[in-house]
Amino acid sequence: MSSVDLLLPLLIAVPILAATLPIALGLWLDRTGWTVATLTTSALFIGATALASIVYTRGADVTHTLGGYSREFGIELVADQFSMLIVLLVTAVATGVLAYTRRGGPRGNTFYTAYLLLTAGLLGISLTGDVFNLFVFLEITSLATYALVASGDGPEAAVASLKYLILGTIAASMYLIGVAFVFMATGTLNMLELADAIPAAESQTLIHTGVAFIVVGFAVKVAQWPLHTWQPSAYQQAPDGVTPLIAALVSTASAYAFGRLIVTVFGVEYLTAMPNAAAVVLTIGCVSVLAGTILAVIQTEVKRMLAYSSVSQFGLVIAAYGVVIAGRSETAFIGAAIHLVGHGLVKAGLFLGVALVARSYDARTVDEYAGLAKSRPIAAGAIAVLLLSLVGVPPGVGFVGKWYIALGAVQSELWPVAAVIFLSTMLTLAYAARLLEKMYFTPSATAERPHAPAPVATDGGDAGPDDSAAEPARDEPGAAIAAIRGDRSEAPVSTGMVAIVVLAALGAVALGFAGGTIAELLDPFLTEVIN
Amino acid sequence: MIEYLFSHYTYVLVFVLLGIGIYMVIASENLVKKLIGVNLFQTAIFLFFISMAYIDTEGASAPIVPEGGVPLNVMVASPLPQVIVLTAIVVGIALTAVGLALIIRIYAEYGTLREDTLREVRADE
Are A139 and B95 an interchain contact pair (Cβ–Cβ within 8 Å)? Answer: yes
Which positions in chain B touch A183 (Cβ < 8 Å)?
52, 81
Q: What angle do CA B85, B88, B90 make, to 5 degrees?
A: 115
Q: How far is it, in rounded angstroms, from Cα A214 to Cα A191? A: 14
What's the rounded mean pLDDT across residues A71-81? 81
| DSSP 8-state secondary structure symbol assigned to residue B65 | P
Stated length of chain B: 125
With 70 as the cut, is the pLDDT of residue A489 above it? no
Residue A170 and residue B38: Cβ atoms within 8 Å? yes
Per-residue pLDDT averaged across A480-499, rounded?
A: 56
Rounded to 10 degrees, what is the CA torsion of A163, A167, A168, A169? 110
At A198 the pLDDT is 83
Q: What pLDDT was estimated at residue A247?
A: 87
Cα gap A189→A251, rounded to integer Å: 23
**Residues of chain A positioned with their CB less than 8 A from the CB of B36:** none
As a whole number of angstroms, the distance between CA A54 and CA B92 comes to: 37
**B99 contacts A166? CB cut-off 8 A:** yes
Q: Spell out the domains of chain B, with CATH numbers in brackets.
A: 2-56+76-124 (1.10.287.3510)
C-beta atoms of A162 and B81 within 8 A: no
Smallest CA–CA separation between B45 and chain A, in Å?
Answer: 6
* Beta pairing partners, A190: A130
Indicate if the pLDDT at residue A17 is higher than 80. Answer: yes
Interface test with A, best of B30, B41, B95 (most A CBs within 10 A): B95
- The tens digit of pLDDT for each residue in A419-440 reads 888 888 888 888 888 888 888 8
Distances (CA, A) of A377 to A73, A350, A360, A440, A502: 57, 15, 13, 9, 11
What does the alpha-carbon distance between residue A269 and residue A199 come to, in Å, rounded to a whole number?
A: 9
> 3-state class of B71 per DSSP?
coil
**Mean pLDDT to the nearest integer, A391-411:** 85
Q: Find the helix or strand (DSSP H, E) in which A64 lies.
A: strand A62-65
Angle (nearest 5°) at CA A135 between A308 and A140: 70
Nearest CA in chain B to A161: B102
Q: What is the rounded distance in angstroms from the CA atom of residue A342 to the CA atom of residue A92?
A: 12
CB atoms within 10 A of CB B123: 7
Structure confidence at residue A178 as a pLDDT band (50, 70, 90): very high
Cα gap A311→A292, rounded to integer Å? 5
Name the β-bridge partners of A128: A77
Average pLDDT, chain A: 81
Nearest CB to A162: which of B22, B48, B103?
A: B103
Selecting from A146, A159, A180 the residue whose C-beta is nearest the C-beta of B49 gives A180
Residue A2: pLDDT band (50, 70, 90) is low
Provide the b/e sequence for A26-61 (b: ≥16 CB within 10 Å).
beeeeebbbbbbbebbebbbebbeebbebbbeeeeb
- pLDDT, residue A445, reads 62
Q: Which residue is closest to B83 within chain A, CA to CA?
A: A132
CA distance A219 to A213: 10
Amino acid type, A492: P
Q: Chain A: residue nearest B21 by CA?
A: A170
Residue A452 per-residue DSSP state = P
Establish whether the linkage from the previous residue to B81 is cis, with ω within 30° of 0.
Answer: no
Phi, psi of A395 (to 5 degrees): -95, 25
Q: How many CB pairs under 8 A join A and B?
A: 73
The structural domains of chain A, with segments of one domain joined by +, span 6-444+493-530
Rounded to the nearest angstrom, the minimum Cα separation between A184 and chain B is: 7
Number of separate helices (H) and strands (E) present in chain A: 23, 2
Q: What are the E-state strand segments in A196-273?
A: none
Are the beta carbons of A159 and B22 separated by less than 8 Å?
Answer: no
| Chain B residue closest in CA terms to A72 | B80
- Give pLDDT tens digits along chain B (125 positions): 778 777 778 888 898 999 999 999 998 889 999 999 999 999 999 999 888 887 777 777 777 777 776 666 677 777 888 888 998 999 999 999 999 998 998 888 888 888 888 888 777 76
CA–CA distance, A250 with A228 (Å, rounded to integer): 13
The rounded distance, in Å, linking the Cα atoms of A306 and A3 is 42
- Nearest-Cα residue of chain A relative to residue B92: A169
CA distance A407 to A396: 17
- Chain B residue set in contact with A, beta carbons under 8 Å: 18, 22, 25, 31, 34-35, 38, 41-42, 45, 48-49, 52, 78, 80-81, 84, 87-88, 91, 94-95, 98-99, 102-103, 105-106, 109-110, 118, 122
Contacts 24+ apart (CB under 8 A), A218-221: A218/A171, A218/A175, A218/A254, A218/A255, A218/A257, A218/A258, A218/A261, A219/A171, A219/A284, A219/A318, A220/A167, A220/A168, A220/A170, A220/A171, A220/A174, A221/A138, A221/A168, A221/A171, A221/A172, A221/A175, A221/A251, A221/A254, A221/A258
Q: Grade residue A468 by pLDDT with cuts at 50, 70 and 90.
A: very low
What residue in B sits closest to A137 (Cα-Cα)? B91
Q: Percent of chain A having pLDDT more than 90?
A: 10
Q: Is A456's pLDDT higher than 60?
A: no
